[in-house]
Amino acid sequence: MPDVVAKVAALQTMSSYELQELWFELYGHDVSTSRKEYLIPRLAYRIQELAYGGLSEAAQKILREKLDDSVQDPAPKKSQLNIPVVGTRITREYKGVEHQVTVTREGFEYQGQTHGSLSKIAKAITGTHISGPAFFGLTEKKSQTKGKSRKSKPKK
């Protein structure tokens, strides 16, 4: 056991090159990164795995089931990734009036009613079709130069 602890502790002092060499030694193939943040925890796990054994059959079975579940469940939509956590209050002032929206499990509550999207609420407030996340300031602003074309010099 002290040998394993010493090997794991030594990872912190190794260069990226040395970590990559150790990776090849322990895994039998090259690694495509030299980032210590990636290499050290995986090498530490591998050192311990070789010394003490890998995951039990029961643990492997649980991981396989979780993997099967994640493959069957579709990935969340991009729009779902930017939704604030339940209970968050979003405030926006528009034409001198403050509007508050609360994120709920069912959607978004505004003036006592639950709406499925922020865009519906933004339309109710502004009267026009508008991106709800953009209206409430939940999206990143695109750079000023993106999408603008530069004028080319005339050919001679």
**91 and 131 belong to one structural domain:** yes
Q: Residue 69 domain-assigned?
A: no
**41 and 87 belong to one structural domain:** no
pLDDT single digits (tens) 89-146: 989 999 999 999 998 888 899 999 999 889 999 999 999 998 888 898 887 665 544 4
Distance (Å, whole) CA 139 – CA 132? 9
Q: Residue 65 domain-assigned?
A: no
Q: Residue 19 domain-assigned?
A: yes
15 neighbors 36 (Cβ within 8 angstroms):
no
**51 and 85 belong to one structural domain:** no
Number of structural domains found in the chain = 2
Q: Residue 149 domain-assigned?
A: no
Instruction: Choose between 155 and 32: higher pLDDT.
Output: 32
Domain that holds residue 48: 2-56
Lowest mean pLDDT among 9-18, 61-70, 109-118: 61-70
Helices (H), 28-146: 36-52, 57-72, 78-81, 118-126, 132-135
